[in-house]
Amino acid sequence: MLLADIPKGSVVAVYGPPMCGKTPIMMSMLGRISTEDPEALTVFFDTEYRCDDTTPEALKDFGIDPDRFVMYSANDVEGIGRAMRDIEDMVKAGAPVKAIAIRSATSIMGSPSPVRPIGEVAMLLRTIARFSKRTGISFIMTSHVRRDLSSDRIKSYVPAGKPNAYCDYLVNAAGETGVEISKVVTSSCDGCQAGRPLDERGLHRMSDGEYPDYMYCQEKKSDG
């Protein structure tokens, strides 16, 4: 599969170690959307506060119209959430937003703290993904992973937990054979999609507290 084969309107996570080319991959995808629809608006969240590759000249090199490129510099859940409410209002008013991009989801995550708890970040990404799927707007994000992670552990790091809860495609920017693209097979189980813990009885703990709610894992039931 090639990057050009990823359908517009998909939720895509581009992942890999630092300096492996994640941003150029994302920008080339945005450039394709902009080239195919000259009226398209692109919304870009720069959580790393970098400006070197979002200058008008750099954007043009990727095929992106600088006049139709809206950039927000924010790396906290509240700031991105407020901007997303503005974007939803823009779309309702008829603005031709065709792509939302985040560089990088990892910079929002940080370590658990009162300011940027992991759970809130995952919820934010899922909310944007749901908005993307509802409106047909492409949602592309980058996420750092370490080079020493084994392939079976990567998915728990891309991004903020279980990617099958909201991603359609994963793009490994540093695969063994170059850029590797895989389609995410979404689980039929709400508990699996939400990344809820599974106990030895095959039950997902769906809520916290003294009297939590449980549900049977649909994947386990289908296996049986």
Q: Are residue 66 and residue 19 in the same domain, yes or no?
A: yes
pLDDT at position 192, please? 66
The average pLDDT across 201-205 equals 82
Place 195 in a pLDDT band, splitting at 50, 70 and 90.
low
Q: Does position 62 have pLDDT exceeding 90, yes or no?
A: yes
Check whether residue 96 and residue 132 sit in a common domain. yes
* 9-27: b (≥16 Cβ within 10 Å) or e: bbbbbbbbeeebebbebbb
Do 168 and 192 belong together in one domain?
A: no
Angle at 102 between CA 35 and CA 114, to 5 degrees: 165
**How many domains does the chain fold into?**
2
Residues 180 and 204 in one domain: no
pLDDT computed for residue 164 by the predictor: 46
pTM of the model: 0.74
Q: How far apart are CA 77 and CA 163, in angstroms?
A: 18
As a whole number of angstroms, the distance between CA 24 and CA 103 comes to 11
115 shares its domain with 219: no
Tokens of 112: 């658990």
Q: pLDDT at residue 129 above 50?
A: yes
Full domain range(s) for residue 203: 187-224
Same domain, 136 and 115: yes
Q: Tell me the pLDDT tens digit for each residue of 140-154.
A: 999 876 444 444 444
Same domain, 181 and 196: no
157-187 per-position pLDDT tens digit: 444 444 445 788 888 888 778 888 888 765 5
Whether residues 197 and 166 fall in one domain: no
Contact call for residues 8 and 137 (beta carbons, < 8 A): no
Q: Are residues 56 and 69 in the same domain?
A: yes
Asked whether residue 204 falls in the same domain as residue 177, the answer is: no
Average pLDDT over residues 107-127: 65
Same domain? For 100 and 204 the reply is no
Is the distance from CB of 165 to CB of 195 less than 8 angstroms?
Answer: yes
Same domain, 179 and 192: no
How would residue 38 be classed by pLDDT, with cut points 50, 70 and 90? very high
- Judged against a pLDDT cut of 90, whether residue 98 lies above it is answered with yes
Average pLDDT over residues 39-62: 91
The pLDDT-based confidence of 83 (bands split at 50, 70, 90) is very high
